[in-house]
Copies of this chain bind each other. A is one copy, B any other.
Amino acid sequence: MDICVTTLLRDKGFKVTPQRLAIYNALAATKSHPSAEMIYNDLQPYYPTMSLATVYKTIEILKELDLVQVLNVGEDSFRYDADTTNHPHVRCMCCGRVEDLQGIDSSDFISRVSAHTDYAIQGQQFYFYGTCPACQKTSAVVS
């Protein structure tokens, strides 16, 4: 996996730095769809001198290499996903957690939309909003 990123960076003329590898690995190792700041905080113990600007600059490159996708779940900040397959996401409106919705085939819905519009559709993002299992339990106890 590391080798792959290294090669991809080199091929496009980018230099390979520990920061870049760490940021990509942090993203690839989590399912939590972190924001730039979350990545920064996660890496802080291991790269105490790394700056937030480096996280942003690296994400920019990773986008270019198609190694991450950007999520815009309606919060203040963007979130990033190293899984670049196009899958729907859910956000818990209670705790803010963002999760993947795997195993849902949306191809028929997409082709239905494509057929219905004059736009040449190139991509899409599906965001669902609700309450996660953990928060459902909590509110059940309270009410």
Interface residues, chain A, with chain B CB atoms under 8 Å away:
70, 72-74, 88, 90, 92-93, 99, 101, 103-104, 106, 109, 112-113, 116-133, 136
B129 and A126 contact, CB distance less than 8 A: no
Most B CB atoms within 10 A — which of A73, A103, A104?
Answer: A104
A55, chain B: closest CB distance, angstroms = 19
C-alpha gap A73/B72 in the complex (Å): 8
Point out the residue from B103, B116, B124, B132 that lies within 8 Å of A126, measured CB to CB. Answer: B124
Point out the residue from B72, B73, B90, B120 that lies within 8 Å of A121, measured CB to CB. Answer: B90
CB closest residue in chain B, given A122:
B130
A12, chain B: closest CB distance, angstroms = 22
